Each structure stands twice: as structure tokens, then as C-alpha cells.
Homo-oligomer: A and B are copies of this chain.
Amino acid sequence: MRWVCFLFLAAVLFPAVSSRAAEAPLSEASQACLDCHAAATPGIVADWRLSAHARTTPAQASQKPELERRVSAAAITPALAGAAVGCAECHVRTQGGGPDDFDHEGRRVHAVVSPRDCAACHPDEAGQFQKNIMSQARGNLARNPLFSDLAAQINGGLVFEGGGLAAQAPEPLTEAESCFYCHGTEVKVIGRRTQHTDYGDFEFPVLAGWPNHGVGRLNPDGSLGSCGACHSRHQFSIEMARQPYTCSECHKGPDVPAYPVYQVSKHGNIQAALGKSWDFRPVPWTVGRDFTAPTCAVCHVSLLVDGQGEVVAQRTHQMNDRLHVRLMGLVYAHPHPLKPDTSRLHSPDGLPLPVSLDGRPAGPQLIGPEEQAERRARLEKVCLACHSTSWVKGHWARLDESVETSNTLTLTATRLLAEAWQKGLARGPAQGGSPFDEAIERQWVEQWLFYANSIRFASAMAGADYGVFAQGRWQATRNLRQMHDWLRLRSPAGKE
């Protein structure tokens, strides 16, 4: 009895110690890394020690019941199976090789861990992610001439000379810390350098586009993406990926105000007020027990079950798998493109866009009504865990309406801009100019990239203020009034 008592007490009093005791065995290679790096980069090592990777082996992880399993590989390479997922398991190359490999203390090491590395244990997730439009985020910007021009107009310098503003090409370092910070840089080896350290001199590759953890990063090994964008190194905490702060790294600004909208929604309120008592770690994740309101991951990513263990939603790393309409980033909302590489889309008016400037969609390149209905039904099943059918129907009806009305407001802005181009008050593509540089053109961009986006997000997540006064219909209609006012000022003789 006394010993039982002590054991219980130990579990209560020393939880930290207990969890440390659960560390999995280390491979010889990883132990060799830690011998120096525990002192050389103490923060990284301490962070990794808190990870699931440090506390389990792939072999153990594979034994879990299917719904609880986090590794998806049918069979784990024997070399990886029996030890913790330590430094060497991800950073040391045991076969093949990549352009960023370098010899380091007798091993072949690479700094940039890519989805291809993670796929050794998580192939399903890596595969889903390649169908995710996010994996193409870099190319969808860099290879689309229209959006490349937009980026250049934003990131380039402007000099006032001869009474006019002369645009300069953006610096690569500026591009890497602005658009491509989230979209992903191209990381490549551009040389070698020798570094003096307390442990001797080492030769390391010099990487361009580094650091970066953008979702569409082009890695030295040719793969796309960075799992670390959401599964932040080196703790790779599912607890973190499931909280909305992770998504807000890239989805917070006026161009994609998903997180601010969530914050003012009822769901966001519940998460802020009560989320500290939720359990963000269990797999599968149980509605009502582990959490009582959705975060981003609940609706868009996670494997969910109800209290009886019935599956509410399957895990997906293709983020639009439960989304029937693309709300943001483009001139008009539209059904999702069929393929994640959107740089090859061409709209009826011949532009690299899913919808023409006058609002006609690029039909067969987008998902059809059936696929839309299936995706909507998958998300709806999540809603229905806590809401009645009539509640959900009412919600969707509003979203459909706001997609239509926000698109109409954008069309009005486009017509105002066309009038400016036609009257020679600004120079658009037909006049040999960029559609993104002049003041009136900037207002047009804000109409769809800021205001129409925001109206639709507000509708989709029930964060009303972002549909009205916080970058919503107030700003959308004010912007149209200002564009019209400017046209009258510049062209007073024109009919009004």
C-alpha cells in the first residue's frame, strides 16, 4: 500500500521527470550530434527533447490502432524503426544525395529538411500536401506573369525623377522577406564557406533563399513545401499546429484576414475564453470532449471523431478538400481550380486567371458542381456535430449570397477602372502599362484583394465586423465612391 501511494504521488508531483523518463532510445548517429549540439545550439536540442519525435520510435508509433496512428508509412525502413526520430534521422542522408549535402564529422548532412525527408514516415500526408494548392504557392506567384507584375510593383523601389515616378526591379532579398516569405523561396546552394567554431573549422554550403519555411518552398532536392511552416521545428507540436496562431502567421493581413475574422466570431471567442482547458494533443480528436469550438484545423485539416468514436472527418493535408469555393486572393471568388498549379489557368479573356476580368469563369479548369457538393458536404458534417441542419442551411445561404454580392462590387470597380483606362486617365495593359501601379489601379486591387476577400471570410466564419466596418462593405462601397469621385475630378466634362 505504501509503495502504491508513493508511486501515485510520484506521478502527481514529478510529471516533468516522468515524461523525460519516457525518452526513446537514440541512434548512435543522433547521439553523436547531441554530443556537441546540446551545447552548440542548446535551444534547438531542448525544443526537440519536448517533441513526440524524442519520446517514441517509428516502430512503436506504427503499432498504434489505426485512428490513433500518426505515421502513415506501410512499412518503416529498418534503419529508422527502432530509435527516436533524432537529429540524424532527418538531417543525415543514408542513401541518395542532394545538392545541399555536406560532410560533417564523418556523416553526410543536409540542413534543409524537405517533405521528401518527412515522407519516410508520413507519406500520405506528404502526398495530400502535394495536391494542396499551397505546395504550389511559390510557382503560382512566380510563374504567373500577372501576379509577378503585382509583386514587382509592390516590392520594387520607386524614384522620383523628371516629375514622374520610376519603378525599379525588386531586390531578391526583399522578395525573400515579403511575398516569398509565406509563398516559399527557392533555396539553393550558391557556394561554400568555412566557419570557425569552438569545435574547430567546418565547411558549410552557402544557401540562397535561406532561412525560409514558406508552404511552397522550392527545396534543394527539388521537392515543394516545408512541413515546418505549420509543424514548427524542432518540437513539431501537433498542439501548436492545431491552434489558430499557426495559420495566422500567413493568414492575418488585409489580403487574407482569416485569423482576425475568426477572432471576432463566436468560435474564436470560445477558443480564446475556454481553449486553455482544451486538449490539443489527442489523435483522433474528439468533438465536445477535447474541444468545444472549432479552430482552423478542426474545420480544414484534422481527423475528428465524436464521443462514440465515430469518424466525423478524415484527416487531410489538402486544405481545400473541405472547401467548395475559393474565396480569396483572386479578382473574383470561384470554384476551386482542378489542379494545384494555377499558373497555367487561362480565363475566357486570355489572362492567366480562373475568371476573366468581366467575371466569366474558366469553366473546365475548375471543379464542377458535383465535386463542389462533395467538398461542402465534408465540411458540413463537421458543422452538424454542434449545429442543427436549419442552422447550417442558413449559414450556407448567406455565404452563397456574399460570394455573389462581393463579386458584383468587384465588377463595378473593374468597370470604373476600365473607364479610366479608356479615357486615358491611367494606362492599363491595352495602353502598354501595368494594371497595378497607378493610384486608381491600387484602389481597384484593394477592392478585391482586401474588401471582397474580407466580406467573404466574414460570411464563411461568421465574424460579422469584417463584413461591415472592419475592412468590409463600408470600405468596399467607400472605395467605389472614391474611385468614381476621382474619375469626376480628372474628367469633369464626362457625363456623370
Interface residues of A (CB under 8 A from B): 1-2, 5, 8-9, 11-13, 38-39, 41-47, 49-50, 111, 153-160, 162-165, 171, 173-174, 176-179, 181-182, 195, 204, 206-207, 210-211, 213, 232, 235, 237, 239-240, 243, 245-246, 248-250, 252-255, 263-266, 268-270, 272-274, 276, 287-289, 292, 306-308, 310, 384-391, 394-395, 397-398, 401-402, 405, 408-409, 412, 415-416, 419, 437-440, 442, 449-450, 458-459, 462, 464-470, 472-474, 477-478, 480-482, 484-485, 489-490, 494-496
Contact = CB atoms under 8 A, between A and B. Distances in A.
Contacts of A408: 157, 159
Contacts of A45: 288, 307
A246 B273 contact: yes
Contact of A153 (B181, B449, B477, B495): B477
Given A249-B265, A252-B470, A274 B240 contact: yes
27 contacts: A39-B308, A39-B310, A41-B385, A41-B388, A42-B385, A43-B386, A46-B289, A46-B307, A157-B408, A158-B409, A160-B412, A160-B480, A165-B412, A165-B480, A173-B398, A174-B398, A174-B473, A177-B398, A204-B389, A210-B390, A211-B395, A240-B269, A245-B273, A246-B273, A252-B264, A439-B481, A450-B469
A38 B307 contact: yes
Contacts of A273: 237, 239-240, 243, 245-246
B237 A439 contact: no
Contact of A307 (B42, B213, B252): B42
B292 A235 contact: yes
A87 B314 CA distance: 30
B154 A464 contact: no
A473 to B, nearest CB: 5
Contacts of A237: 273-274
A128 to B, nearest CB: 22
Nearest to A240: B273
B249 A266 contact: yes
Given A273-B237, A388-B41, A481 B442 contact: yes
A435 to B, nearest CB: 13
A287 to B, nearest CB: 5
A439 B477 CA distance: 9
Contacts of A394: 207, 210-211
A50 to B, nearest CB: 7
Given A254-B469, A306-B39, A469-B255, A292 B47 contact: yes
A22 to B, nearest CB: 17
Given A232-B269, A269-B249, A307-B46, A160 B415 contact: yes
A326 to B, nearest CB: 18
A390 B206 contact: yes
A204 B388 CA distance: 11
Contact of A480 (B49, B158, B469, B494): B158
B177 A481 contact: no
Instruction: Return the 4 tightest CB-CB contacts between A and B, nearest first.
Output: A46-B288, A43-B386, A181-B464, A253-B465
Contact of A47 (B264, B288, B391, B401): B288
Nearest to A207: B390
Contacts of A246: 269, 273
Nearest to A385: B43
